[in-house]
Amino acid sequence: QVVGGKVKKPGKRGRKPAKIDLKAKLERSRQSARECRARKKLRYQYLEELVSSRERAICALREELEMYKQWCMAMDQGKIPSEIKALLTGEEQGKAQQNSTKLSKAGKTEANSSNP
């Protein structure tokens, strides 16, 4: 048949299936399955590690929360835990050091500005 200047052959349209070696096709399929299983295994290992790290973080946060609860109970009874005293004295010392540093810097800048 001639249609629009081209010769058409009767039958199905599209590419004809090539004569693919059945053994090669099966081997490619097996290789693909092996790779898929390996990727799946790696994914599960990654997820298990992620879950375990999150569980450790949760345990640490629970311990910290319990410590804060105990501190609050102690303060409700009128006692100040030694950890809080240490934090407060550490902050006071830090503030004192910062203030002395600021004062010494201010003195240096005044001395520099007075010298022409």
**Residue-range domain boundaries for the chain:** 22-86
Answer whether residue 30 shows pLDDT above 80: yes
pLDDT in tens, 4-21: 556 666 666 666 556 668
pTM for the whole structure:
0.51
Structure confidence at residue 116 as a pLDDT band (50, 70, 90): very low
CB 90 within 8 A of CB 96: no
Give the integer Cα–Cα distance in Å for 39 and 17. Answer: 31
CA distances from 45 to 1, 41, 57, 77 (A): 62, 6, 19, 49
pLDDT in tens, 49-71: 999 999 999 999 999 999 999 99
Q: Give how far the C-alpha of residue 95 lies from the chain's centroid of Cα atoms, to the nearest Å.
A: 35
Answer whether residue 96 shows pLDDT above 80: no
Beta 6-7 vs 2-3: how paired, if at all?
A: antiparallel
